[in-house]
C-alpha cells in the first residue's frame, strides 16, 4: 500500500486576489504527512506559486498532477489531495438539476478554472473506489483535519 499526495498552495502574489497563508498550509501539511504519517518525500508532489523552484500551480500543472496521482495508483493505495487557494462557482454546464445550479471550481494561479469534471474519467473514478482517498481544502481548521486524517491513516 503506497501513500501518495498532491499538495497545492496558491497565494496569488502581486494580484488583487493575493492571499497570505496558502503556501504555509502546504508546507505544514507536507511536514505532517512525512513526519507523522510516514509518506515518502518522493511520493508527495508540491505545487506552490511563491517559489520558482517548485512546479507552479497552473491549471495545466494541477490537472497533470491529479491525473498522475490517480493513474499511478493501485488498489489499496492511500491518495491525499490538499488544496489551499481561491474557489469560485460557475453556472452549471452539466444539464443536471441540483439544488444550486452552480459548479464549484478551484482557481489556479493562471486563473484557468478547474471544475470537478475537468479531470474526471470513468477509469480514474473507478480506480478511486479501490483506493483510500481524502481531499481537503483550506476551509477546515487544521486541528479537525489532523484528527480526520489520523483516523484514515490508522486503518
Tens of pLDDT, residues 96-126: 656 677 777 889 999 998 876 554 444 444 4
Which residue from 153, 129, 124, 137 is spatially nearest to 4, judged by alpha carbons? 153
Q: What is the pTM of this model?
A: 0.78
DSSP conformation class of 26: H
**Beta carbons of 47 and 110 less than 8 angstroms apart:** no
Residues 25-50: tens digit of each pLDDT: 999 999 999 999 999 999 999 999 99
In order of their start, the domains of the chain are 3-148 (3.40.50.12660)
Q: Are 30 and 42 in contact (CB under 8 A)?
A: no
Q: Which residue has the cell 506559486?
A: 49
Amino acid at each position: 500500500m503506497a501513500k501518495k499526495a498532491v499538495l497545492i498552495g496558491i497565494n496569488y502574489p502581486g494580484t488583487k486576489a493575493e492571499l497570505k497563508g496558502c503556501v504555509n498550509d502546504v508546507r505544514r501539511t507536507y511536514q505532517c504527512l512525512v513526519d507523522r504519517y510516514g509518506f515518502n518525500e518522493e511520493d508527495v508532489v508540491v505545487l506552490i506559486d511563491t517559489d520558482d523552484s517548485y512546479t507552479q500551480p497552473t491549471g495545466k500543472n494541477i490537472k497533470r498532477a491529479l491525473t498522475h496521482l490517480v493513474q499511478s495508483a493501485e488498489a489499496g493505495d492511500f491518495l491525499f489531495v490538499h488544496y489551499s487557494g481561491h474557489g469560485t462557482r460557475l453556472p452549471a454546464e452539466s444539464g443536471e438539476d441540483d439544488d444550486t445550479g452552480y459548479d464549484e471550481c478551484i482557481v489556479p494561479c493562471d486563473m484557468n478554472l478547474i471544475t470537478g469534471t475537468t479531470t474526471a474519467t470513468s477509469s480514474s473514478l473507478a480506480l478511486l473506489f479501490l483506493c483510500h482517498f481524502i481531499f481537503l481544502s483550506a476551509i477546515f481548521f487544521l486541528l479537525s483535519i489532523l484528527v480526520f486524517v489520523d483516523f484514515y491513516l490508522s486503518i
